[in-house]
Amino acid sequence: MKKLFLNKVSTSELEGGIYKLLKNLPHLESIETFGSLIDENSVNSFGKILSDNKNMRELNFSGATYSNKVAKEIADGLMRAKMLDVLKLRNAGSIEGGITSILYNLAFSPRIKLIDLTNFNISKNANLCEALYKLLKISGSLEHLILNKTNCTNGLTRDFFLALGENKTIQSLHLNSSK
């Protein structure tokens, strides 16, 4: 199996079993958790799979609900997930504090190509705006940054746009605001 799609699943229902499930899928390339609830008891499993599975190419936590602690565990796993190409966190506003760690760790990822933060309220989060700036400044692989409906245009600094101009790999920046 190459793709695991968890639609409206609560990982607490899989307690103790999510890691067993994921580790027995050595060819897994993609995890999508649309509308799922990822609880703190099972997040270590996701972090461990992200760091252990060398085939993981795409992580889509769009519409998922999880805490900042969960986001930080995922960030730790992403630091070691050197093959990841795509990260989608559409409609995942429940991790406002943890997203900065995720973005910072992805800045050092040698293969990340696309990050999608659609419908994530960035405008009032100075730390998140700084993390986006650092991502563009450091990343040597990011090609597409999607910030649709994030209301970020007022929060992004001059440094962000300078880093955008200096970045050699970025091909598209999506800024479609609802305001």
CA angle 55, 61, 63 (to 5 degrees): 160
Half-sphere exposure of 166 (CA within 13 A, CB side): 13
CA distances from 97 to 18, 41, 70, 73 (A): 25, 19, 11, 12
Mean of the per-residue pLDDT values of the chain = 82
Residue that wins the pLDDT comparison between 123 and 82: 82
Structural domain boundaries of the chain?
3-174
Per-residue pLDDT, 41: 67
pLDDT above 90 (res 66): no
CA distance readout (Å), 61 to 6, 155, 171:
10, 24, 23
pLDDT digits (tens, 9 = 90+) for 99-154: 888 888 888 888 999 999 988 777 677 888 888 999 999 999 999 999 998 877 77
Distance CA 80, CA 129 (A): 23
Tell which CATH architecture fits domain 3-174.
Alpha-Beta Horseshoe (3.80)
What is this structure's pTM?
0.88
